Amino acid sequence: MKQVILSVVLAFTLQANAQDEAIVNELAPVCANLDSLHTLEAWKAKSDELSALKEKYPDSWMTIYYYAYASIQLSYFETSLGLKDAFVNNAEDQLAKLEEKCPLKDEVFIMKAMVANARIGADPENRWQKYGKIFEDNLKAAKGVNENNPHIYLLKGIATFYTPKMFGGGAKNAKTYFEKAQSKYDLITYTNVDKPYWWGRSTCGYFFGEIEKELGK
């Protein structure tokens, strides 16, 4: 009886591993250029691709994760508050299932922080007080799980860059966080979709350029 149970468990494990491999193979080319998308149209096309994969593999944390990520990026490129919130709602709707399925708990907190930050980005004046704490709490939680996650410092750097100097923001204060993020990116030598720590590397480089412009004025 014990041997039968072990055989069944092994069969399910092999089946799950085979499906994960199939998902990775399909996701990899779709996600390969995420860091090079800089227009609303490009992100809409990417979101459609990721939505189709999420529908095909609805129980995969990877398809859920990247679809939520694309939804957040779309919110930053939209100009209408209603559309911004609609895209953030799409991302937020994925959080419960992501939290249940994703083995990378630090990235669950990162996604929660990104949702909060996107809420602020849509309407900073009226939302920073509520969502700023949610953003900070989730970055702190992510750091407690994995302090080498570059997204912690990247997101903090971006938030600091756009915060007024009178409240502790600005280019000079943001630079430290981007330097920390870069040091963590330097530890990463892969672009595996099941280890999504790689995205954001070029964003970090972009902000170094923006900081140089600001500090050079």
What are the pLDDT digits (tens) for 207-216? 999 999 988 8
Q: What's the token pair of residue 178?
A: 């981007």
Quote the pLDDT of residue 207. 96
Q: Does the structure show a pLDDT above 80 at 18?
A: no
Contact between residue 109 and residue 139 where contact means Cβ atoms under 8 Å apart: yes
Report how far Cα 185 is from the mean position of its chain's Cα atoms: 14
Q: 54 CB contacts (<8 Å, ≥6 apart)?
A: 60, 63, 64, 67
Quote the pLDDT of residue 20. 77
Q: What's the pTM value of the predicted model, to 2 decimals?
A: 0.90
Banded model confidence at residue 37, pLDDT cuts 50, 70, 90 = very high
Banded model confidence at residue 13, pLDDT cuts 50, 70, 90 = very low
Q: Considering the chain, what is the average pLDDT of its residues?
A: 91
Summarize the confidence of residues 85-107 as an average pLDDT: 96
C-alpha 63/C-alpha 77 separation (Å) is 22
